[in-house]
Chain A
Amino acid sequence: MPDLEKFRAETRAWLEANCPESMRQPARSSEEYYWGGRNGKFASEDQKIWFERMLEKRWIAPHWPSEYGGGGLSKDENKILLEEMRRLGCRPPHTNFGITMLGPVLLKYGSEEQKREHIPKILRGEIRWCQGYSEPGAGSDLAGLSCKAEPDGDDYIINGQKIWTSYAEKADWIFNLVRTDTTVQKQKGISFVLIDMATPGVSTRPIKLISGNSPFCETFFDNVRVPKSNLLGKENEGWTYAKYLLSHEREMISGIGDQGVTKTLGELAVERIGKQDGKLADSVLRPEIAKLEMNALAFQLTVERAKDQAKAGQGLGDVASMFKYYGTELNKNRHELIISVAGMEGLVWEGEEYNEGYTARTWLRTKGNSIEGGTSEIQLNVIAKRVLGLPS
Chain B
Amino acid sequence: MALVLNEEQNLLQQTARSFVQGKAPVEALRKLRDERDETGFSRELWKEMTDLGWAGVAVPEEYGGFELGYVGLGLILEECGRMLTASPLVSTVLLGATAVALGGSEEQKNSILPAIIGGEQILTLALDETPHHAPTKISMTAEKSAEGFVLNGKKEFVMDGHVADKFIVAARTSGKSGEEKGISLFLVDADNPGVAAERLSMVDSRNAAKVTFKNVKVSSGALLGELDKGFPLLEKVMDIGRIGLAAEMLGMAQEAFQRTLEYLKERKQFGVLIGSFQALQHRAVVMFCEIELCKSMVLKALSAIDEKDEKNLPILASATKAKMGETLKLVSNEAIQMFAGIGMTDEHEIGFFLKRARVAQQIFGDQSYHLDRFASLNGY
Interface of A with B (CB < 8 Å)?
A: 264, 266-267, 269-270, 275, 278-280, 286-287, 289-291, 293-295, 297-299, 301-302, 304-305, 308-309, 311-312, 314, 316, 322, 325-326, 377, 380-381, 383-384, 387-392
Contact = CB atoms under 8 A, between A and B. Distances in A.
B4 A278 contact: no
A322 B292 contact: yes
A226 to B, nearest CB: 39
Given A325-B289, A326-B293, A384-B284, A309 B372 contact: no
A278 B376 contact: yes
Contact of B319 (A278, A294, A312, A387): A294
Given A266-B375, A301-B3, 14 more contacts: A267-B379, A279-B375, A289-B380, A290-B371, A298-B296, A308-B3, A322-B289, A380-B286, A381-B282, A383-B289, A389-B265, A390-B281, A391-B272, A391-B275
Given A291-B371, A384-B285, A392-B276, A279 B4 contact: no
Contact of B380 (A275, A295, A380): A275
B2 A311 contact: yes
Nearest to B2: A308
B116 interface: no
B296 A390 contact: no
Contacts of A311: 2, 4
A267 B380 CA distance: 7
A112 B341 CA distance: 61
Contacts of A295: 293, 323
Given A390-B275, A392-B276, A290 B293 contact: no
B299 interface: yes
B374 interface: yes
A297 B289 CA distance: 14
B374 A293 contact: yes
Interface in B247-282: 261, 264-265, 272-273, 275-276, 278, 281-282
Interface of B: 2-4, 261, 264-265, 272-273, 275-276, 278, 281-282, 284-286, 288-289, 292-297, 299-300, 319, 322-323, 368, 371-372, 374-376, 378-380
Contacts of B3: 301, 304-305, 308-309
Contacts of A381: 278, 281-282
A294 B371 contact: yes
The 5 closest A-B pairs by CB, nearest first: A305-B3, A384-B281, A266-B380, A301-B296, A298-B293
Interface of B is mostly: helix
B281 A290 contact: no
Nearest to A387: B288
Nearest to B10: A314
Contacts of A287: 368, 371-372, 375
Contacts of B379: 266-267, 270
17 contacts: A266-B375, A266-B380, A267-B379, A267-B380, A270-B379, A279-B380, A280-B380, A287-B375, A289-B375, A289-B380, A290-B380, A298-B319, A381-B282, A383-B285, A388-B261, A388-B281, A392-B276
A48 to B, nearest CB: 38
Given A267-B379, A286-B375, A302 B292 contact: yes
A390 B295 CA distance: 22
Nearest to B371: A290
B114 to A, nearest CB: 36
A305 B295 contact: yes
B376 A309 contact: no
Contacts of B282: 377, 380-381, 384
B297 A301 contact: yes
Contacts of B375: 266, 279-280, 286-287, 289-290
B376 A279 contact: yes
Nearest to A300: B296
Contacts of A325: 285, 289
Contacts of A383: 285, 288-289
Contact of A301 (B275, B288, B300): B300
Contacts of B272: 391
B284 A388 contact: yes
A299 B293 contact: yes
A369 B319 CA distance: 26
Nearest to A321: B285
Nearest to B278: A381
Contacts of A388: 261, 281, 284-285, 288
A294 B327 CA distance: 12
Most buried by A among B285, B295, B378: B285
Among B319, B372, B380, the one with the most A-chain Cβ atoms within 10 Å of its Cβ is: B380
A314 B292 CA distance: 14
Nearest to A305: B3
Contacts of B378: 264, 266, 290, 293
B4 A390 contact: no
A391 B280 CA distance: 11
Contacts of A314: 4
Contacts of B372: 287, 290
A384 B297 CA distance: 23
B168 to A, nearest CB: 29
Contacts of B374: 290, 293-294
Contacts of A298: 293-294, 296-297, 319, 323
B265 A391 contact: yes
A294 B322 contact: yes
A314 B284 CA distance: 23
Contacts of A301: 3, 293, 296-297, 300
A298 B250 CA distance: 14
A108 B328 CA distance: 41
A326 B281 CA distance: 16
A290 B378 CA distance: 9
A294 B323 CA distance: 7
A391 B273 contact: yes
Given A291-B371, A298-B323, A301-B297, A286 B380 contact: yes
Contacts of A387: 285, 288
B118 to A, nearest CB: 36
